[in-house]
Amino acid sequence: MTSPILTLEGVSKSFTLHLQGGQSIGVMQDVHFAVAPGECVVLGGPSGAGKSSILKMIYGNYRCDTGAILLREGDEVVDIATAEPRRLLALRRRTMGYVSQFLRVIPRVPALAIVAEAARETGLAEDAATRRAQELLHRLNVPERLWGLPPATFSGGEQQRVNIARGLAADRPLLLLDEPTASLDAANRAVVVDLVTAKKQNGVAIVGIFHDEDVRSQVADRVVDVTRFSVASLAA
Ligand SMILES: Nc1ncnc2c1ncn2[C@@H]1O[C@H](COP(=O)(O)OP(=O)(O)OP(=O)(O)O)[C@@H](O)[C@H]1O
């Protein structure tokens, strides 16, 4: 088997509740799994099991309490759990992308520019980046009349499709997807399945959360049920 690009080992996470006297709540313990290039691992389990928290720990938004999150970048392996902020930012620029459920953008920047800018982040020249942005917006059925407008007034589904286009525009070897199809119709869900499949064929490793059974069965190589790491189930 190809060696993994991402390996989680013995990761645990608790949250400190500042509004409740600093009480600490353990959420996950001994999270471990690995993802190889070209593989899509889907995180499964009920609401509140910790799926989004795992993605946030991989992206470095949440710190883990123990364990290692090892990301391979070329010949080097970096532990995200202990990486300096500057190193983490470089990893995000070159090696791992994150598509959240919602579009967060700078006001007044048009949709096409948002997606093209993302394509430029991993080295595409301006013309090629604009072409890729047009292609993605077109495939995701964002009407051309909207491309020159900032997405603030777009519908929820239109915003999400701009968000997906932005998240998929760059060429990074690891992609984290947090329910990218949540408010999409069936036709657009099918487009996302095709785009994710194409990324896998290009060797991109994916860790994703997909509630839609149909999407999940089409993209997942493996489902990791995170319930087995949850502190509540371990204590039961
Ligand atoms: N910043 C935070 N502070 C305190 N508790 C948190 C925080 N983030 C997550 N949690 C708690 O951690 C647990 C796991 O949450 P998480 O969002 O990771 O679950 P999930 O499996 O992604 O759920 P869903 O499918 O509903 O999105 C929940 O009990 C949640 O309340």
Instruction: Give the total number of structural domains in the chain.
Output: 1
**Whole-number pLDDT of residue 193:** 95
Residue 41 has pLDDT above 60, yes or no: yes
Task: Please identify, by atom number, the ligand 1 atom nearest to the C-alpha of residue 49.
Answer: 21
The answer as to whether 17 is a domain residue is yes
The answer as to whether 12 is a domain residue is yes
Of the chain, the percentage scoring pLDDT greater than 90 comes to 77
Q: How far is the centre of ligand 1, averaged over its atoms, from the C-alpha of 51 (Å)?
A: 8
**Whole-number pLDDT of residue 141:** 95
The answer as to whether 62 is a domain residue is yes
Task: Please identify, by atom number, the ligand 1 atom nearest to the C-alpha of residue 13.
Answer: 12
Residue type for 101, please? Q
Distance CA 157, CA 184 (A): 6
In CATH, what number is assigned to the domain containing residue 33?
A: 3.40.50.300
**Whole-number pLDDT of residue 10:** 96
The answer as to whether 68 is a domain residue is yes
In degrees, rounded to 5, the angle at the alpha carbon of residue 168 between the alpha carbons of residues 165 and 172 is 155
Residue type for 99, please? V
Tokens of 71: 């990301």
CB-based contact 56:62 (threshold 8 Å): yes
The answer as to whether 76 is a domain residue is yes
Residue 44 has pLDDT above 80, yes or no: yes
Task: Please identify, by atom number, the ligand 1 atom nearest to the C-alpha of residue 54.
Answer: 18
Residue 234 has pLDDT above 80, yes or no: no
Range of the domain at 89: 6-229
**Whole-number pLDDT of residue 1:** 57
| pLDDT tens by residue, 192-213 | 999 999 999 999 999 999 989 9
Residues in the ligand 1 pocket, defined by CB under 6 Å: 15, 27, 45, 47-53
**Whole-number pLDDT of residue 83:** 95
| pLDDT tens by residue, 63-120 | 999 999 999 998 999 999 999 999 999 999 999 999 988 777 778 899 999 999 999 9
Q: How far is the centre of ligand 1, averaged over its atoms, from the C-alpha of 213 (Å)?
A: 21
